[in-house]
Amino acid sequence: MSPLFAGKVEAYLRALVGRRKRRSAAFEAFRFSFLEDKGARRNEPDAKSLLLLEGRERDFAERMLIEALPDRRAIVGLGALRSRRAERRLTAIFELECAAAQAARIARDKEWRATLLISTAQALWRLEPRQRYARALIGTLRCAPNWAERMDAAAALAEMPTLEVEEALAEALDDRDALVRHHAARALLAIHGVETDPRAMNHMVYRVMAEDPERREGGRRDIMAALLGAPIEPDPDASVHYGGGAS
């Protein structure tokens, strides 16, 4: 969180808009989630509340998020708002993170984290899709030593429907980590408009997570078939759902 807002959100708001006025529930939800939540490292910011803001409140939120840069939550919020006002700052952060990523790869630094790179690439893509943003995420998906970063890169690539992205996600179906394979599968299916049922324990996006090579390959095969619009052979356990219900 930016030091500017550490315990001083209300003071900043008063400096910005004058005496306290009644604020909407959406604004208070945005304020807590993006600027005050002490569990920020564990909880994803509440983008829905941010997108409910209108008029002056939306403008105030955008200005506060720009002030909070380079905090990751601010980047996420500005991406959700598709903030043109923040584009220059976001681009500068992206360039710095790309340089840092390259340096880390050369030095084989396993401690460097791609968190800001992933967030800024996604935010800037929403402003204007450019292949260089997708390629930054592809590089993270292929090279990041940390599984959570590869997973986050795969999830972000779901918004970037290019052939190069699809090829990288298809490769990631063989990633060494199950959750990376899962998110790569979901991203591929999302790009092609194929819906997934999060309750279906034996859905292909879960089978591709399996440790058993045969089961995993069956999930992978079904995913690739779904992308081509081919009929999929039913899994013998496909009727089993979380919660024990039948399909």
Query: pTM of the entire structure?
Result: 0.83
CATH class of the structural domain 87-193: mainly alpha
Report phi then psi at 150, rounded to 5: -65, -40
Contact 209, 223 (CB under 8 A): no
Residue-wise pLDDT tens digits, 107-166:
999 899 999 999 999 999 999 999 999 999 999 999 999 999 999 999 999 999 999 999
User: Quick one: which H or E segment has residue 13?
Assistant: helix 9-17
Q: How far is CA 122 from CA 28, 48, 114, 115, 149, in A?
A: 25, 17, 12, 11, 13
Mean pLDDT across 223-241: 59
User: Quick one: which H or E segment has residue 49?
Assistant: helix 47-51
Please report, for the chain, the start and end positions of each structural domain, with discontinuous segments joined by +: 3-81, 87-193
Q: CA 161 to CA 163: how far, in whole Å?
A: 7
